[in-house]
Structure 1
């Protein structure tokens, strides 16, 4: 994990967390999701906003921290090649966005999976 304390990472604004996520994931080539005991990934549905998304984190510790109140959730790594090849088409087909790195009070950056893939590819190619 980075040298930045967990509390400081959680307090970044949405854009700062998104940029941090991109840089970290482009380097580590993986990110983290939460799954339940049935191996189903956590999906957040906001009826008020009409948005459904898959929350993701740049480090396992951040996913664990988010799930600390729910003993039924455990972190699972998603490798970038799998995300690009399998997850992006599946999320797009299911009309599910990606909620990048939820922070304090649930604030996060929500993006379509195709856009997240392009941004990650840009960072990895040095075009960011």
Structure 2
């Protein structure tokens, strides 16, 4: 393992990054996405099955690391209340899944917006 905490966390498998994401987002109260110069969010369509998803990260640092080398993509915070109130219904309506915390490997935890909201709320209720 690397001495770099960023690399250690990115080296976790999809499930490990998902668990880290839940805890970090509940602590910080923000979900991080990437937007282009027109303030449009990054949406990825998986080649193998055609699933469209919004990639999300637990911190600006991780989102920025993912965007390194991609022209015009910058991290943007979405507050947890806004994510629950606006993004979850909008993504659900548009049939877009959520790709939680893409990392160094090809493994990615893809879930429905409602399921992610449920998991975040469950972690929040256990935190207090």
Q: TM-score, normalised by structure 2?
A: 0.93
CA distance in 2, matches of 1:45, 1:56: 14
What is the distance in 2 between the residues matched to 1:102 and 1:25? 15
Map of 1:102 onto structure 2: 102
Q: Which residue of 1 aligns with 2:120?
A: 120
Deviation at 1:47, TM superposition (A): 3.5
Preserved CA contact (<8 Å) 2:31 2:83? no
Unaligned runs of 5+ in 2: none
Shift of 1:39: 0.4
Secondary structure in 1 aligned to 2:22?
helix
Q: Which runs of 5+ in 1 are unaligned?
A: none
When the two structures are aligned, how many residues end up with a matched partner? 124
| Cα offset, 1:108, TM superposition | 1.4
**CA deviations over 1:18-68 (Å, ceiling 9, x no partner):** 000000101111111000000000000124212110000001011111000
Q: Does 2:16 match 1:11?
A: no
SS at match of 1:6: helix
Structure 1 distance, partners of 2:119, 2:52, is: 20
Post-superposition offset of 1:104: 1.0
1:72-127, CA deviations, whole angstroms, 9 ceiling, x for partnerless residues? 10000010000000000000000000000001134211000000000000000008
* Residues 34 and 42, structure 2, Cα contact 8 Å, conserved in 1: yes
For residues 100 and 18 of structure 2, the distance between their equivalents in structure 1, rounded to whole angstroms, comes to 6
List 4+ stretches of structure 1 deviating above 2 A.
none
User: How far, CA to CA, are the matches of 2:107 and 2:33 in structure 1?
Assistant: 17
